[in-house]
């Protein structure tokens, strides 16, 4: 066996794999070397899939993989393979599907037992080392699986083949094809409304996850229909998340999910992909409602990301922040005892903070009952009344307390680890979110950082013949469908922001490569791995990602990008591929419901076409600036606001309708056109008329969305 201090993972690019370099398990990374050894020694493979941010992954590492007795069993009977799910989402998604079929549950750590050629035949998630909590212990499982593989090999192989066939059938969606009907959106909206938790906001019960696309869909449908219940559901959900413990009340940013239905006690890891999509949610909520809380929450996400989760010098968004400081705690960095609060603050500040954040002698954390999760339990006016203060003084007192608590928290060591890997798809999602923040909040710094990040992705992770890689830096890692589609969306966002044709041309090139390499010309839609990708090994099934979990369903985002490209170019290829992709899944959408909310957004956009607002006027003209600001204040999903000066008019690549209309207009005169497909409304010159027109267009489009 390799010296445990020098096992194979010591030089891995992945921080999750490197964290296991000291373990006495003879780990392999995913690849042919592991399969070849398993075949040569006729041993099953023990597959562990996890992530550096995953609390229970660290627990199973400490309890089992660092246990010399258990490690010896693994090394004797198995070829052990460890996978970082962030680095290899293609491996993770397939084995999640397989193990869910066996055990009825998925998640991380994923523990799977494979034949020597990588076919799963048994597995689960976290296993305690000994029998506990009604679950068999890992020791018992390791011994029984090894015995079954040795003495009942035919049964094992039969089970593995059957499972592979079931996964392959489930992932291809052959029975889902049908004619596209925009009315399918109603099934998604009804699912969200049915699952809405009136008491606590959000959808479903505990554990409670954000459903960013569902909130955007409800806001979009509200803009079209003015149905107050749609707004209520979206608004209540955003408020509950913003005021709950799932939002970091001191540092900003959202934890991954809440273990309870009240959004109070989170799993404390913070993920890039949650925060990018939630940032968009709160920006859109602010556009629709103008509620200060939604703007403050969006600003809080940006503040945290700028400080903690980004490379401000070079551009780039980091992957995640861990939940814990050490293996022995559970969110201790983010939580407070009453004594800790009182030690950090004056008596008056402490009283205000304890009332506001519900800090008591007994908190919410099971591992340490004195630890409190900070969540907003009282309104400021209520605290002011209780303390005999006017409201403005109470706000000042709370702001001072928050600042002091954050300062003390920053001094806690060690700080939860940051995975500084820059994944292309997740970065592209944040580029889009930051460009949205620049438009809605007037944040030029967000625009600059988004473009700097996008330029870095192009410079360091672009392959002219294959599109985007999966990450910046490290050994070459081929890009997945997510990387292409989210990057194409970000490139279009950058083009709409700057009118620089380099971004538009790259978006077109990326999407054409995606059609060529990932597209299914027969069945419609896109596979997550390219047809010319190197063999994955193991469970080689084709897979078309549809579900929003945890990132927006990539096939649905592909439709959105294709329809946006069609609006600019009139190129039928884009429209046809969008239609074929929608048709590929239409039969499954009622079944997926809430988890197909991005499909709902794509279907709406496809049926009504993207809205393009062209604001003309000389650079620096204040009336043109007012029109642009008004256009950005209105939320409409897929709306493009294009600022065209006389100098830009000649070089801008605009939609066919615009290229025909604009040359007949005086580009130096401040005015705005609202266009959908080949129809442009007459120009307007006042911001109020522009807002009214956008609202009118929204209402007119809603009929198309539900037409048979």
Cβ atoms 485, 459 nearer than 8 A: no
Q: Beta strands of 357-482 (E only): which ranges?
A: 418-419, 422-423, 462-463, 467-468, 471-472
Q: What is the CA radius of gyration of the chain?
A: 26
pLDDT of residue 655: 62
Contacts 24+ apart (CB under 8 A), 516-520: 517/466, 517/467, 518/481, 518/484, 519/577, 520/544, 520/584
pLDDT of residue 611: 93
Q: How far apart are CA 557 and CA 546, in angstroms?
A: 9
Identify the H or E element spanning 83. Answer: strand 79-84
pLDDT of residue 704: 41
Mean pLDDT of 275-297: 98
Give the least confident one: 4-8, 190-194, 375-379, 533-537.
4-8
Task: Give domain status of residue 288, yes or no.
Answer: no
Mean pLDDT of 491-510: 95
Cβ atoms 171, 97 nearer than 8 A: yes
To which residue do tokens 């992770």 refer?
461
Task: Give domain status of residue 363, yes or no.
Answer: no
Identify the H or E element spanning 673. Answer: strand 671-676
pLDDT of residue 708: 29
- Bridge-based pairing state of the strands 79-84 and 45-50: parallel
To which residue do tokens 């592979």 refer?
164
pLDDT of residue 696: 82
What average pLDDT does the chain have?
Answer: 93
**Structure tokens belonging to residue 495:** 């083009």
Q: What end-to-end distance do the CA atoms of the chain give, in Å?
A: 66
The length of the chain, given as a count of residues: 708
Pseudo-torsion of CA 213, 215, 217, 220, nearest 10°?
-130
* Residue that terminates a domain, selected from 138, 172, 206: 172
Q: How far apart are CA 378 and CA 385, in angstroms?
A: 11
Q: Which residues, 6+ apart, have CB-to-CB distance to 262 below 8 Å?
A: 200, 240, 244
* Residue that terminates a domain, selected from 122, 148, 172: 172
Task: Give domain status of residue 185, yes or no.
Answer: no
* Residue that terminates a domain, selected from 172, 193, 219: 172
Mean pLDDT of 489-512: 96
Mean pLDDT of 603-616: 94
- Whether the per-residue pLDDT at 701 is higher than 60: the answer is no
Cα-based distances in Å from 678 to 170, 516, 616: 40, 28, 19
- Whether the per-residue pLDDT at 703 is higher than 70: the answer is no
Cβ atoms 601, 560 nearer than 8 A: yes
pLDDT of residue 606: 96
Q: How far apart are CA 94 and CA 57, in angstroms?
A: 19
Cα-based distances in Å from 452 to 312, 313, 488, 629, 649: 9, 9, 16, 23, 25
pLDDT of residue 103: 84
Helix (H, G, I), strand (E, B) or coil at 423: strand
Task: Give domain status of residue 301, yes or no.
Answer: no
Angle made by CA atoms 624, 630, 633, in degrees to the nearest 5: 145
Task: Give domain status of residue 591, yes or no.
Answer: no
**Structure tokens belonging to residue 121:** 């035949």
Q: How far apart are CA 369 and CA 248, in angstroms?
A: 19
**Cβ neighbourhood burial of 394 (10 Å; 0-12, 13-18, 19+):** buried
Range of the domain at 14: 4-172
Q: How far apart are CA 423 and CA 448, in angstroms?
A: 19
Task: Give domain status of residue 167, yes or no.
Answer: yes
Percent of the chain's residues with pLDDT above 70 = 96
Helix (H, G, I), strand (E, B) or coil at 535: coil
Q: How far apart are CA 77 and CA 115, in angstroms?
A: 12
- Whether the per-residue pLDDT at 129 is higher than 70: the answer is yes
Q: How far apart are CA 646 and CA 471, in angstroms?
A: 39
User: Smallest Cα–Cα separation from 486: which of 420, 402, 430, 414?
Assistant: 430
pLDDT of residue 652: 63
To which residue do tokens 């909130």 refer?
215
Cβ atoms 235, 281 nearer than 8 A: no
Cβ atoms 109, 4 nearer than 8 A: no
Mean pLDDT of 510-516: 98
Task: Give domain status of residue 621, yes or no.
Answer: yes
Whichever domain contains 151, its CATH number is 3.40.30.10
| pLDDT tens, residue by residue, 98-118 | 999 888 888 999 999 999 999
User: Smallest Cα–Cα separation from 470: which of 430, 510, 423?
Assistant: 423
Q: Which residues, 6+ apart, have CB-to-CB distance to 549 below 8 Å?
A: 595
pTM greater than the 0.85 cutoff = yes
Q: How far apart are CA 129 and CA 141, in angstroms?
A: 9
**Structure tokens belonging to residue 542:** 């084709």
Identify the H or E element spanning 29. Answer: strand 28-29
**Structure tokens belonging to residue 160:** 């593995």
| pLDDT tens, residue by residue, 209-262 | 999 999 999 999 999 999 999 999 999 999 999 999 999 999 999 999 999 999
- Whether the per-residue pLDDT at 6 is higher than 80: the answer is no
Mean pLDDT of 388-393: 95
- Whether the per-residue pLDDT at 180 is higher than 90: the answer is yes
**Structure tokens belonging to residue 175:** 């029975």
Q: Which residues, 6+ apart, have CB-to-CB distance to 260 below 8 Å?
A: 206, 207, 208
pLDDT of residue 679: 81
To which residue do tokens 């956009």 refer?
605
| pLDDT tens, residue by residue, 152-178 | 999 999 999 999 988 888 776 777 899
pLDDT of residue 707: 33
Distance of CA 561 to the CA centre of its chain: 17
| pLDDT tens, residue by residue, 316-373 | 999 999 988 777 778 899 999 999 999 999 999 999 999 999 999 999 998 899 999 9
Task: Give domain status of residue 460, yes or no.
Answer: no
Mean pLDDT of 429-458: 98
Q: How far apart are CA 502 and CA 509, in angstroms?
A: 11
Which phi and psi angles does 195 have, rounded to 5°?
-90, -5
Mean pLDDT of 296-309: 98
Pseudo-torsion of CA 162, 166, 169, 172, nearest 10°?
-120
Cα-based distances in Å from 532 to 173, 331, 474, 536: 22, 43, 21, 11
How many distinct structural domains can be found in the chain?
A: 2
Q: How far apart are CA 452 and CA 462, in angstroms?
A: 15
Q: How far apart are CA 659 and CA 649, in angstroms?
A: 9
Q: How far apart are CA 241 and CA 220, in angstroms?
A: 19
Q: Beta strands of 452-576 (E only): which ranges?
A: 462-463, 467-468, 471-472
Mean pLDDT of 44-54: 96
**Widest pairwise Cα distance in the chain:** 83
| pLDDT tens, residue by residue, 622-667 | 999 999 999 999 999 999 999 999 888 766 666 666 677 777 788 8
């Amino acid at each position: 066996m390799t010296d445990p201090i020098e096992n194979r993972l010591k030089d891995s690019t992945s921080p999750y794999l490197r964290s296991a370099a000291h373990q006495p398990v003879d780990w392999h990374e995913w690849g042919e070397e592991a399969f070849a050894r398993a075949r040569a020694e006729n041993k099953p493979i023990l597959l562990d899939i996890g992530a550096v941010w995953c609390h229970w992954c660290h627990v199973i590492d400490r309890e089992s993989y660092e246990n010399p007795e258990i490690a010896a069993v693994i090394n004797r009977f198995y070829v052990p393979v460890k996978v970082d799910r962030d680095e290899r989402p293609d491996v993770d998604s397939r084995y999640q599907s397989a193990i869910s079929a066996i055990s009825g549950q998925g998640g991380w750590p994923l523990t799977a037992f494979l034949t020597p050629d990588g076919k799963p035949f048994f597995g689960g998630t976290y296993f305690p080392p000994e029998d506990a909590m009604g679950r068999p212990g890992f020791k018992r499982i390791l011994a029984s699986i090894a015995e079954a593989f040795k003495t009942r090999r035919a049964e094992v192989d039969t089970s593995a083949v059957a499972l592979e066939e079931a996964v392959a059938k489930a992932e291809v969606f052959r029975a889902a094809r049908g004619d596209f009907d925009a009315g399918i959106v109603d099934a998604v909206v009804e699912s969200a409304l049915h699952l809405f938790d009136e008491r606590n906001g959000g959808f479903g019960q505990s554990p409670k996850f954000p459903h960013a696309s569902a909130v955007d869909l409800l806001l979009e449908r509200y803009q079209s229909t003015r149905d107050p219940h749609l707004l209520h559901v979206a608004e209540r959900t955003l408020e509950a998340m913003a005021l709950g413990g799932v939002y970091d009340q001191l540092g900003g940013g959202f934890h991954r999910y809440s273990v309870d239905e009240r959004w109070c006690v989170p799993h404390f890891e913070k993920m890039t992909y949650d925060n990018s999509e939630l940032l968009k949610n709160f920006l859109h909520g602010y556009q629709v409602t103008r509620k200060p809380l939604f703007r403050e929450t969006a600003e809080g996400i940006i503040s945290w990301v700028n400080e903690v989760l980004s490379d401000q010098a070079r551009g780039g968004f980091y992957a995640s922040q861990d939940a814990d400081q050490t293996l022995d705690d559970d969110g201790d960095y983010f939580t407070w005892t009453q004594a800790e609060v009182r030690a950090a603050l004056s008596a008056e500040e402490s009283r205000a903070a304890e009332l506001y954040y519900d800090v008591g002698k007994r908190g919410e954390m099971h591992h340490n009952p004195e630890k409190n999760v900070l969540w907003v339990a009282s309104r400021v006016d209520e605290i002011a009344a209780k303390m005999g203060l006017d409201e403005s003084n109470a706000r000042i007192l709370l702001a001072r307390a928050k600042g002091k608590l954050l300062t003390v928290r920053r001094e806690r060591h060690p700080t939860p680890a940051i995975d500084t890997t820059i994944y292309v798809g997740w970065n592209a999602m944040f580029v889009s979110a930051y460009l949205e923040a620049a438009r809605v909040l007037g944040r030029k710094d967000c625009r600059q950082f988004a473009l700097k990040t996008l330029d870095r992705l192009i410079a360091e992770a672009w392959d002219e013949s294959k599109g985007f890689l999966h990450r910046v830096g490290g050994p070459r890692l081929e890009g997945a469908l997510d990387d292409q589609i989210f990057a194409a969306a970000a490139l279009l966002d950058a083009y709409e922001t700057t009118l620089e044709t380099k971004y538009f041309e790259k978006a077109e090139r990326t999407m054409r490569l995606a059609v060529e390499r990932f597209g299914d010309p027969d069945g419609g839609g896109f596979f997550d791995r390219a047809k010319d990708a190197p063999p994955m090994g193991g469970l080689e099934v084709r897979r078309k990602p549809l579900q929003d979990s945890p990132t927006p369903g990539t096939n649905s985002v592909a439709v959105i990008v294709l329809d946006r490209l069609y609006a600019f170019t009139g190129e039928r290829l884009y429209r046809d591929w969008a239609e074929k992709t929608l048709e590929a899944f239409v039969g499954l959408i009622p079944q997926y419901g809430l988890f197909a909310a991005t499909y709902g957004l794509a279907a709406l956009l496809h049926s009504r076409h993207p809205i393009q607002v062209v604001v003309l006027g000389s650079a620096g003209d204040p009336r043109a600036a007012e029109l642009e600001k008004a256009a950005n204040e209105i939320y409409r999903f897929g709306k493009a606001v294009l600022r065209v000066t006389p100098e830009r008019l000649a070089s801008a690549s605009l939609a066919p309708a615009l290229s025909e209309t604009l040359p007949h207009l005086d580009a130096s005169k401040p005015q705005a056109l609202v266009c959908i497909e080949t129809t442009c409304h007459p120009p307007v010159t006042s911001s109020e008329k522009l807002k009214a027109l956008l609202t009118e267009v929204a209402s007119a489009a809603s009929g198309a969305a539900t037409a048979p």
